[in-house]
Amino acid sequence: MKILVRGTNWIGDSVMTIPALRSLRAAFPEAEIVLLTRAVNEGLFQDGNIVDRVMSIETSRSGIGHTVSLTRRLRKERFDVGIVLPNSFSSALPLKLAGIPRRFGYTTDRRRILLTDAVPVPSWKATRHEVFYYMYLAGALEERLPGKGPGGQADPYPRIEISNERLDAAREFLGQHSLDLTRPVVAIGAGSTNSNAKRWPVERFVETGDRLQKTIGAQIVLLGSDGDREVSEQIVSGLSERPLDLTGKTSIAEVAATLSVVDLLIANDMGLAHVAPAVGTRTLVLFGPTDPTTTRPLSKLAEVVRHEVECSPCMLRECPIDHRCMTRIGVDNVCNIATRMLKLND
């Protein structure tokens, strides 16, 4: 059997789909499982064996030409089964046009006509973590097309495999940039590409980094995408000791390896906050407008700091008032939690 998985677009969402992919692999150990996702996400699946290969797409392209081109690629592959993890009409359309015989997906965005096996959205969706939403859809495929493996046996915690070679390379890279790995190394993710409302004020990150540098001798590494460069530059100029700024300079595969060798990540609700605990690193994530019940990093290594306000979670990308959900998160609280989490690594 040849199975196509239309993966999610954002890095954090891609991490949350890993348990569902692991479940499919357990259920169909002899199948060829191909993941269709954005090129930026490919590095998350570089090691491990939950998928056989990745077909990359660029979601910045759209329109009829893109759909036709993708349909042709899928038709040549002759997939037996397709499962669509995103909820959009456009993500399911190429699978229908490519003539994939069995197509699984949720009955969202009026796309029932595109699916041979349309799965109703579970009633608990708004109250359980998104990981279970993806696992539930994978479970529907496993029930209707029994494989040769047990299926449904995957635990819900996302895990990203990093090879020993990549670990050694990451350690060597940080050493070449004068980081002493016998001392605490704290990564900071101060951006959030798709939402300004998720961002803790940059001056709070500066104060937090400065305090950790002075009190426990922490070494700071800044991580993020090209869109986060301006925020990171402000942090660089504000810190007493210059950090290692890797913002926009690394692939997701390199970021994942780097995160696997640092001691702690402090970040907004962003993709890296899901990557870090998945590679085994303690993570402190700051939540404001989004709902930690459904989208927090699902890991025993991750902690959420959040200030309860009456208007959160609002899910807005721009705050129309005073950004109270984020500005009321204090530096003292973040530093205290971070220091405690770092001690757990000793």
Is residue 137's pLDDT more than 80?
Answer: yes
Task: Give residue 146's pLDDT band: very low, low, confident or very high (50, 70, 90).
Answer: confident
For 63-95, how does the pLDDT look when each residue is reduced to its tens digit (9 = 90+)? 788 899 999 999 999 999 999 999 999 999 999
- What are the structural domains, with CATH classification, of the chain? 2-144 (3.40.50.2000), 164-343 (3.40.50.2000)
Indicate yes or no: pTM above 0.85: yes
The pLDDT tens digits of the residues spanning 3-52 come to 999 999 999 999 999 999 999 999 999 999 999 999 999 999 999 889 99
Q: How far is CA 308 from CA 128, 193, 212, in A?
A: 19, 24, 25
- What's the CA gap between 35 and 5, in Å, rounded? 5
Average pLDDT over residues 154-175: 94
| Mean pLDDT, residues 210-232 | 95
The band of 153, judged by pLDDT with boundaries at 50, 70 and 90, is: low
With 90 as the cut, is the pLDDT of residue 117 above it? yes
Task: Tell me what pLDDT residue 64 has.
Answer: 85
Amino acid of residue 257: A
Please, is 155 exposed, middle or buried when counting C-beta atoms within 10 Å of its C-beta (0-12, 13-18, 19+)? exposed
Q: Using CA atoms, how far apart are residues 73 and 71, in angstroms rounded to an integer?
A: 5
Q: What is the pLDDT of residues 286-331, one digit of tens each?
A: 999 999 999 999 999 999 999 999 999 999 999 999 999 999 999 9
pLDDT band for 107, please (50, 70, 90 cuts). very high
Q: How sure is the predictor about 193, in pLDDT bands with cuts at 50, 70 and 90?
A: confident
pLDDT above 70: percentage of residues in the chain: 97
Residue 267: name the closest of 190, 344, 168 by CA.
190
Report the half-sphere exposure of 13 (CA within 13 A, side-chain side): 14
Alpha-carbon distance 94 to 115, whole Å?
A: 11
| Model pLDDT, residue 63 | 76
Q: Is the pLDDT at 57 greater than 70, yes or no?
A: yes
DSSP 8-class letter at 122: P
**Burial class of residue 182 (count of CB atoms within 10 Å of its CB; 0-12, 13-18, 19+):** exposed
pLDDT at 194: 79
Looking at residue 58, what is its pLDDT?
77
* Predicted local confidence at residue 195, as pLDDT: 87
Rounded CA separation 164/267 (Å): 26
Is the pLDDT at 149 greater than 70, yes or no? no
What is residue 286's predicted lDDT score, i.e. its pLDDT? 98
> Of 61 and 213, which is predicted with more confidence?
213
